Amino acid sequence: MIHVITQIERPPKELIDRFRGIGTATVHEASGRKGAVDPAIKPISRGVRICGPAFTVQCHPLDNLMLHKALEKAQPGDVLVATVGGHYEGGYFGGLMATSALAKKIGGLAIDGCIRDSAEIIRMGFPIFCRGFCIRGTTKTVLGSINHPTLFGGVLVNPGDLILGDDDGMVVVERTESEEVLEKSIKRAEAEKLKSEKLKAGISSVELNQLEKVFEFLGLVEG
């Protein structure tokens, strides 16, 4: 078995950059409502965003050895997407690791587990999505894997898939579908802007979304 796959395909940087200003909810809808990550995995503070290709990491429970290897091998802009075997009660990533990640220009960390040194990391500005915070330390003695497909927050993530996160949550876009999803996301954002203008002008959301027939079909009675 190859533990660490070093060569992966990534979406073009220009394409990734065009996703940065689009909300995750819009992308999720535009992708056919696919790729929504478990909402228990949240940004460490309001306003944190991540957008970049997945560099997947599978750690053994209560061991962060492979996260250190990932920090060594990941390219600038990559988002580390880490799983910990469902054992969340450990601080798998801390301030010193965040210092290293910033020096290497890593795009962020998305971990289906907990971190520690959260206040320090927030001050540093390194973007992280996680399940919470835990002071319990971890070992560095057990091998895992890097850049293998991994189930992250209920979504299968392949290396190089696009990972997006904002205050509303996280969404995974398959690398091979990223260009198509981008175009659909842009069109959806433009359509939502037009709808917003109509709502500001006073039209009701019932009329805007043509819900009268839905209420009629359901037998709504008003008195």
Rounded CA-CA distance 10/85 in Å is: 25
For the entire predicted model, the pTM comes to 0.93
Architecture of domain 13-176: 3-Layer(bba) Sandwich (3.50)
- Domain definitions of the chain by residue range: 13-176, 185-218
Share of the chain above pLDDT 70, in %: 100
Task: Note the pLDDT of residue 178.
Answer: 96
Tokens of 133: 């915070």
What's residue 68's pLDDT?
98
- Mean pLDDT over residues 65-85, rounded? 98
CA gap 163, 172 in Å, rounded:
5
Indicate whether 1 pLDDT > 90: no
Q: Which two tokens stand for residue 180?
A: 């198509």
Q: Are strands 150-152 and 155-157 parallel, antiparallel or unpaired?
A: antiparallel
Mean pLDDT of 66-80: 98
Q: CB of 157 within 8 A of CB of 111?
A: no
User: Other CB atoms closer than 10 Å to residue 210's CB: what's the count?
Assistant: 8
Confidence band of 2 (pLDDT split at 50, 70, 90): very high
What is the per-residue pLDDT for 219?
92
Contact 57, 143 (CB under 8 A): no
- Work out the average pLDDT over 148-155: 98
